[in-house]
């Protein structure tokens, strides 16, 4: 029982981290109809920028807070230089151009920060463990990730459902022409939304950094997973991204925590321990293919 609770909590934590990354992606995707493969690069840049700022300020919280406006500016700059020219283009051009940006950012990081990876230590005040149940400790930092993820989810839900910007966002996702008709400055809106997406990516990157490590190409590894999440959820849908991220998080944990033991009931131990990760690795892709066959525009996507 303790074990089950612990593993489910791990799944929630992982799901929220994935949601942070997927939220920015689904926003830009839904509103600007932009396939941004370079979203993973913004995740990486967020982590590297945070590393530098944490070094300067000698404080995790301060550095992390300063890193957000910095990546916002980076996002605005990328939007102005490249992305703006891609909105009217088809997805193919977008894939090509943002694929080029990935290569560029990976090498840029190497020029600025060098080839060796970096690491951010877990801040002192979060480096202890908390007993979630008697005798079951859980790292405080992972609780912090859960908290940040939950806050962002609530904030986004409020932004989309209750604000004027949110209305435009919803309108944009379902009818792009209508926004123009409303006399809204689309350029500014797009620019801000892209910047916001960059901030979410950076937040995911810097929150993940103390658990993982900061390295060149760190975003490329999980970019595809983030795409899988927003496609399962339905492009442009924050709710869909959230649900899909939580499902993927739980599937991942179940695959790792319980699948090997389950397989051992009918196959040899050695075969089970090597088959389990392979199965859990393809499980999300099977899930995505299944969802798309069932609903070709994802769980909460727009039908037309």
Partner 1 sequence: MAALLASLRTPRGLIVALILLVFAILPLLTQAFDQRYLLSIGTRIVIWSIAAVSLNMILGYGGLVSFGHAVFFGIGGYAVGILAANGLQSGWLQWPVAIAASVLWAALVGALSLRTRGVYFIMITLAFAQLVYYVSAGLEAYGADDGLNISRSRFDGLIDLRDKASFYWLCFVLLLGTLWFCSRFANSRFGFVIRGAKSNDLRMTALGFPVFRYRLAAFTLSGAFGGLAGILLANEGAYVSPAMMSWVKSGDLIVIVVLGGMGTLFGPLYGTIAFFVLEESLKPLLDLGHKGWGEYWQIVFGPMLVLIALYARGGIDSLLGRRHG
Partner 2 sequence: MKSKLFGPATIAAMATLGLGSLPAMAQSPIKIGFVSTFSGPQAAIGEDMRRSVELAKEHLGGKMGGKPFEIIYEDDTFKPDVGKARSEKLVLQDKVDFIGGYIWSNVLLASLKTVTDEGNTILVSANAGPSQIAGELCNKNFFSTSWNNDQTPMAMGEYLQKKGVKSLYLMAPNYAAGKDMMAGVKRTFKGEIKGEDFTKWPDQLDFSAELAKIRAAKPDGIFIFYPGAHGVQFLTQYAASGLKGQVPLYQVFSIDAITLPQQKDLALGILGAQEWVNDLPNDANKKYVADFKKKHGTYPSFYGAQSYDAIMLIASAAEALKGDLSNKDKVRAEMKKANFKSVRGDFKFGNNNFPIENFYIQDTVKDASGMLTLKTVATAVTAAVDPYASKCPMK
Q: Which residues bind partner 1 (CB under 8 A)?
A: 29, 35, 82, 85-86, 89, 91-97, 99-108, 110-111, 224, 227-228, 231, 235, 274-275, 278, 281-282, 285-286, 288-289, 292-293, 296-298
Q: Which is nearer to partner 1, 150 or 282 (CB)?
A: 282
- Name the DSSP class of 304: -
**Site membership for partner 2, residue 55 (CB under 8 A):** no
Q: How far is the CB of 107 from partner 1 (least distance, A)?
A: 4
**Residue 273 buriedness (CB in 10 A; 0-12 / 13-18 / 19+):** middle
- Cβ atoms of 278 and 212 closer than 8 Å: no
Instruction: Spell 91-101 as b/e; 16+ CB within 10 A means b.
Output: eeebeebbeeb
Give the shortest CB-253-to-partner 1 separation in angstroms: 18
Query: Residue 289 touches which of partner 1, partner 2, none (CB < 5 to 8 A by kind)?
Result: partner 1
Does position 106 interact with partner 2 (CB under 8 A)? The reply is: yes
Which residue, 35 or 45, is less far from partner 1 as judged by CB?
35
Q: Which does 68 bind (CB under 5 to 8 A by kind): partner 2, partner 1, none?
A: none
Check if the beta carbon of residue 68 is closer than 8 Å to that of residue 200: no
> Among 27, 142, 205, 247, which residue sits at the site for partner 2 (rule: CB under 8 A)?
142
Interaction between residue 148 and partner 2 (CB under 8 A): no
Nearest to 214 by CA among 52, 83, 32: 52
Cα dihedral across residues 252, 254, 257, 259: positive or negative: negative
- Report the residue number, 205 or 301, with the smaller CB distance to partner 2: 205
Query: Of the candidates 273, 295, 297, 302, which one interacts with partner 2 according to CB under 8 A?
Result: 273
Exposed/middle/buried for residue 189 (C-beta within 10 Å: 0-12, 13-18, 19+): middle
Specify burial of residue 204 (Cβ count, 10 A radius: 0-12, 13-18, 19+): buried
Q: Are strands 136-139 and 129-133 parallel, antiparallel or unpaired?
A: antiparallel
Q: How many residues bind partner 2 (CB under 8 A)?
A: 48
- Cα dist from 252 to 8, 9, 72, 257, 280, whole Å: 10, 12, 31, 9, 6
Least Cβ distance, residue 65 to partner 2 (angstroms): 22
User: Does the footprint of partner 2 cover residue 218 (CB under 8 A)?
Assistant: yes
CA 177-172-166 angle, to 5 degrees, is 140
Beta carbon nearer to partner 2, 134 or 183: 134
215 interface partner picked from partner 1, partner 2, none, CB below 5 to 8 A per type: partner 2
**Interhelix angle 218-233/186-208, nearest 10 degrees:** 120
* 274 forms part of the interface with partner 2 (CB under 8 A): yes
Write the DSSP assignment of 116-183 as a string of letters: S-B--PPPGGG-SEEEEETTEEEEHHHHHHHHHHHHHHHHHHHHHHHSHHHHHHHHHHH-HHHHHHTT
Report what 29 binds from partner 1, partner 2, none; CB cut-off 5-8 Å by kind: partner 1
Read off the tokens for 242. Answer: 């959230």
| Binding status of residue 111 toward partner 2 by CB under 8 A | no
Based on CB atoms, which residue is closest to partner 2, 181 or 270? 270
Contacts with partner 2 by CB under 8 A lie at: 3, 6-7, 10, 13-14, 17, 106-107, 110, 114-119, 121-122, 127, 129, 137, 139, 141-142, 208, 210-213, 215-218, 221-222, 225, 252-253, 256-257, 260, 273-274, 276-278, 280-281
């Amino acid at each position: 029982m303790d074990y089950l609770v612990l593993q489910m909590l791990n799944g929630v934590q992982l799901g929220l981290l994935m949601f942070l990354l997927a939220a920015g992606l689904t926003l830009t995707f839904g509103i600007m109809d932009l396939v941004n493969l370079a979203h993973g690069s913004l995740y990486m840049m967020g982590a590297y920028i945070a590393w530098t700022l944490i070094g300067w300020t000698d404080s995790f919280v301060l550095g992390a807070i300063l890193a957000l406006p910095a990546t916002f500016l980076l996002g605005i700059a990328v939007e102005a230089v490249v992305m703006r020219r891609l909105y009217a283009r088809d997805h193919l051009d977008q894939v090509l151009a943002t694929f080029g940006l990935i290569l560029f950012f990976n090498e840029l990081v190497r020029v600025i920060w060098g080839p060796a990876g970096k690491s951010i230590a877990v801040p002192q005040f979060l480096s202890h463990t908390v007993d979630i149940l008697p005798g079951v400790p859980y790292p405080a930092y992972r609780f912090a990730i859960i908290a940040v993820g939950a806050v962002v989810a609530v904030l986004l839900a409020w932004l989309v459902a209750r604000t004027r910007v949110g209305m435009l966002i919803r309108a944009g996702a379902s009818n792009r022409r209508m926004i123009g008709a409303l006399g809204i400055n689309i350029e500014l809106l797009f620019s801000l939304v892209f910047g916001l997406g960059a901030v979410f990516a950076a937040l995911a990157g810097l929150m993940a950094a103390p658990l993982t490590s900061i390295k060149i190409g760190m975003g490329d590894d999980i970019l595809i997973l983030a795409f899988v999440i927003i496609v399962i959820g339905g492009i442009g849908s924050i709710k869909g991204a959230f649900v899909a991220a939580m499902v993927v998080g739980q599937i991942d944990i179940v695959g790792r925590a319980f699948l090997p033991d389950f397989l051992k009931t009918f196959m040899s131990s050695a075969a089970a321990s090597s088959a389990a990760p392979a199965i859990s690795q393809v499980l999300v892709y099977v899930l995505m293919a299944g969802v798309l066959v069932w609903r070709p525009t994802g769980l909460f996507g727009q039908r037309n």
